[in-house]
Amino acid sequence: MIRTEWIPQAYRDIETVAVNKKHMKQLNELQEIISDAVKELNFPGYPAQLYEPLTYILSLGGKRMRPALLLMACDLFGGDVDAAIKPALAIEVFHNFTLMHDDIMDNAPLRRGHTTVHERWNKNAAILSGDVMLVEGYKLMMQVEDRLLRPILDIFNKTAVGVCEGQQLDMEFEELDHVNIDEYLNMIRLKTAVVLGGALKIGALIGGADVKDAELLSGFGENIGLAFQLQDDILDVYGDPEKFGKQVGGDIISNKKTYLQIKALELANKQQAAELDSWTALKQFDAVEKVEAVTAIYNALNIRQYAEDVMQQYADKAFEALDAINLPEEHKQYLRNFADGLLVREN
Amino acid sequence: MIRTEWIPQAYRDIETVAVNKKHMKQLNELQEIISDAVKELNFPGYPAQLYEPLTYILSLGGKRMRPALLLMACDLFGGDVDAAIKPALAIEVFHNFTLMHDDIMDNAPLRRGHTTVHERWNKNAAILSGDVMLVEGYKLMMQVEDRLLRPILDIFNKTAVGVCEGQQLDMEFEELDHVNIDEYLNMIRLKTAVVLGGALKIGALIGGADVKDAELLSGFGENIGLAFQLQDDILDVYGDPEKFGKQVGGDIISNKKTYLQIKALELANKQQAAELDSWTALKQFDAVEKVEAVTAIYNALNIRQYAEDVMQQYADKAFEALDAINLPEEHKQYLRNFADGLLVREN
ipTM confidence score: 0.91
CB contact under 8 A, A164 and B104: no
**pLDDT higher than 70, residue B2:** no
- Sequence-ordered alpha helix ranges (H) in A249-324: 250-253, 259-267, 270-281, 287-300, 303-324
DSSP string, A217-242: HHHHHHHHHHHHHHHHHHHHHHS-HH
CB contact under 8 A, B138 and A161: no
CB contact under 8 A, A134 and B139: no
Chain A interface disruption, residue of B46, B50, B145, most A CBs within 10 A: B50
Strand intervals (E) in chain A: 110-111, 114-115
CB contact under 8 A, A47 and B130: no
Q: Give the residue from A113, A85, A111 showing the smallest Cα distance to A98.
A: A111
Is the CB of A108 inside 8 Å of chain B's CB atoms?
A: no
Q: Which residue of B has its CA nearest to A146?
A: B150
Is the CB of B101 inside 8 Å of chain A's CB atoms?
A: yes
Task: Sort out which chain B residues have CB atoms less than 8 A from A108's CB and list them.
Answer: none
Tell me what the pLDDT averaged over chain A comes to.
Answer: 91
**pLDDT higher than 90, residue B19:** no
Beta bridge partners of B115: B110
* Amino acid identity for residue B309 in this structure: D
- From the list A46, A101, A171, the residue facing B131 with the nearest CB is A101
Chain A interface disruption, residue of B96, B152, B168, B173, most A CBs within 10 A: B168
Give the three-state DSSP class for B157: helix
CB contact under 8 A, A165 and B50: yes
**pLDDT higher than 80, residue B18:** no
Share above pLDDT 70 across residues of chain A, in percent, rounded to a whole number: 91
The minimum CA-CA distance between A304 and chain B, rounded to whole Å, is 30
Q: How far is B263 from B261, CA to CA, in rounded Å?
A: 6
Q: How far is B96 from A271, CA to CA, in rounded Å?
A: 51
**pLDDT higher than 50, residue A176:** yes
Ramachandran sector of residue A281 (left: φ over 0; alpha: ψ -120 to 50; beta: rest):
alpha
The minimum CA-CA distance between A36 and chain B, rounded to whole Å, is 25
Is the CB of A72 inside 8 Å of chain B's CB atoms?
A: no
pLDDT tens digits for range B297-334: 999 999 999 999 999 999 999 999 999 999 999 999 99
Is the CB of B135 inside 8 Å of chain A's CB atoms?
A: yes
Q: Where are the domains of chain A?
A: 19-343
Residues A223/A324, Cβ–Cβ less than 8 Å: no
- Split at pLDDT 50, 70, 90, the class of A19 is very low
Q: How far is A280 from A277, CA to CA, in rounded Å?
A: 5
Is the CB of A148 inside 8 Å of chain B's CB atoms?
A: no
Is the CB of B176 inside 8 Å of chain A's CB atoms?
A: no
Q: Give the residue from A251, A288, A294, A259 showing the smallest Cα distance to A275.
A: A294
CATH of B19-343, picked from 1.10.600.10, 1.50.10.20, 3.40.50.300, 3.40.50.720, is 1.10.600.10
Q: What's the pLDDT at A341?
A: 81
- Sequence-ordered alpha helix ranges (H) in B250-327: 250-253, 259-267, 270-281, 287-300, 303-324
- Split at pLDDT 50, 70, 90, the class of A24 is confident
**How far from A162 is each of A167, A237, A290, B56, B225, CA to CA, in Å?**
9, 28, 35, 21, 36
Task: Sort out which chain B residues have CB atoms less than 8 A from A169's CB and list them.
Answer: 47
**pLDDT higher than 80, residue B247:** no
- Split at pLDDT 50, 70, 90, the class of A9 is very low
Ramachandran sector of residue B42 (left: φ over 0; alpha: ψ -120 to 50; beta: rest):
beta
Q: How far is B1 from B7, CA to CA, in rounded Å?
A: 12
pTM of the model: 0.91
Is the CB of B148 inside 8 Å of chain A's CB atoms?
A: no
